[in-house]
Amino acid sequence: MSMFNRLLVTGLPVVPKPLVGKVASRYVAGETLADAVRVVRNLNQQGAMATIDVLGEEVSEREKALAAVEEYLQVFDTIAAEGLDSNVSIKPTLLGLKIDESFCRDNIERIVAKAKEHGNFVRIDMEDNTTTDATLRIFHELYARYGNVGPVLQAYMRRTLSDIAALPEGSTVRLCKGIYVEPRTIAWKGFETVRANYVRALEKLIERGIYTGIATHDEYLTCRAVGLIDKHGLKREQYEFQMLLGVDEELRRILIAGGHRLRVYVPYGRDWYPYSMRRLRENPEVARHVLKAMLSGR
C-alpha cells in the first residue's frame, strides 16, 4: 500500500459518519429487510442469485445474539414468501460465539433448522483466526445433522489446504482470500502468494468434487478459475461465482453473460457503519472517493 493510501486509510475514523454512509451506501442494501428484498429482487431479475447477511459482528450480550436469530428466521420466511432466489450468510460472533460456543451452536442450529424447513441453505462466514476452530466445529456438527450448511475458507490461511481435506463428502464451500489482518505465522501475506494459494485451494476443492462458491473480484483469479472449470469439465451446476454488492458490477455482468452462476452478497441492517469502514479500509480506492466527497463539500 502506498504512503498516500496508508494515510487515507488511517484517516478514515475521523471522516464524518454521514459522509462514509453516502459513499459506502452502494455496499449495503439499506437498514431494513424490505431494503434487502428490493435489492435481491433486482439482482434476481439480472440473473444473479443472492445471499442475505444481517449486519453486525461480535456481540457480548445474549439478548443481542437472540435478536439476530429472530431476524434471520424472519429473513427465511420472507425469502420464501417473496419467492426470492437467495440463501443467507451468518457471522458466528454475531450469534454469540464469543459468549459461549454451545450457545452459538444452538443459535446457528435454529437458523439452519428454519432454512431446512424452507429447503434453503446457510453459509457460515469465516471471521478472524480466533474463531476458525470453533466455526468449523459448529459447521461439522450441524452438517452431519442437517446437511444444508457450509463454511467459508480463506486462501490466506496456511491451514486452508488441510481444512479442505477434512471437509465432509457432499459439503459445499465459499472460497475467498480473507479480509482480516492475520499474523504471518499463520497466514500467507504477499499478494501473489495469496493468489497462488487461492488457485491451489480451488483446484483441490474441484478435485475433491466440492461445490465451491468462488468469491473474488480479482480478474486474474476469475480468469484462473474459468481455466480450472474448463480443464476439469465442470458443468454450470457444479460451482458458482460470488461477489459483494456494489463491487465491480461490470465483472458480474461479464460472468453472467459467460453462462456462469453468480451470487451477490447482500448485507442489510442498522449496523452498516463498521461493515462500511471495513470495506473502505480494505480498498483505498473507495477511501479516495470519501476524500474527494469531503474536499468538494458533497
Ligand X SMILES: Cc1cc2nc3c(=O)[nH]c(=O)nc-3n(C[C@H](O)[C@H](O)[C@H](O)COP(=O)(O)OP(=O)(O)OC[C@H]3O[C@@H](n4cnc5c(N)ncnc54)[C@H](O)[C@@H]3O)c2cc1C
Catalytic residues: 125, 174
CB nearer ligand X, residue 37 or residue 215: 215
Interaction pattern, residues 117-136, with ligand X; x per rule: CB under 6 A: --------xx----------
Label residue 232 left, alpha or beta by phi (over 0 means left) and psi (-120 to 50 means alpha): alpha
Residue whose CB is less far from ligand X, 207 or 282 = 282
Q: Of 93 and 107, which CB lies nearer to ligand X in the complex structure?
A: 93
> Minimum distance between the CB of residue 224 and ligand X, rounded to whole angstroms?
11
- Residues in 224-243 that interact with ligand X by CB under 6 A: 242-243
Site for ligand X in 174-213 (CB under 6 A): 176-180
277 binds ligand X (CB under 6 A): no
Interaction of residue 101 with ligand X, rule CB under 6 A: no
Q: What is d(CA 23, CA 11) in angstroms, rounded to the nearest whole number?
A: 15
**Looking at beta carbons only, is 133 or 282 nearer to ligand X?**
282
Q: Using an 8 Å Cβ cutoff, are 184 and 141 in contact? A: no
Quote the cell numbers at residue 271: 449496523
Q: How far is the CB of 237 from ligand X (least distance, A)?
A: 19
Binding mask 139-158 for ligand X (x = CB under 6 A): -------------x-x----
C-alpha cell at 234: 465442470
- As measured in angstroms, the least distance from the Cβ of 9 to ligand X is 12
Query: What's the chain's Rg over C-alpha atoms?
Result: 19
**What is the per-residue burial (b if ≥16 Cβ within 10 Å, else e) of 18-27?**
eebeebbebb
Report how many residues bind ligand X under the rule CB under 6 A: 23
Q: Cβ 12 to ligand X, closest distance in Å?
A: 13
Touching ligand X, residues 278-297 (CB under 6 A): 279, 282-283, 286
Min dist. Cβ of residue 248 to ligand X (A): 5
Q: Length of the chain in residues, anyone?
A: 298
- At residue 87, φ and ψ (nearest 5 deg) are -110, -160
Residue placing its CB nearer to ligand X in the complex, 105 or 279: 279
**Nearer to ligand X (CB atom), residue 99 or residue 243:** 243
Stretch that binds ligand X, among 17-25, 41-49, 141-149, 216-224 (CB under 6 A): 216-224
The residues binding ligand X (CB under 6 A) are 125-126, 152, 154, 176-180, 215-218, 242-244, 247-248, 265, 279, 282-283, 286
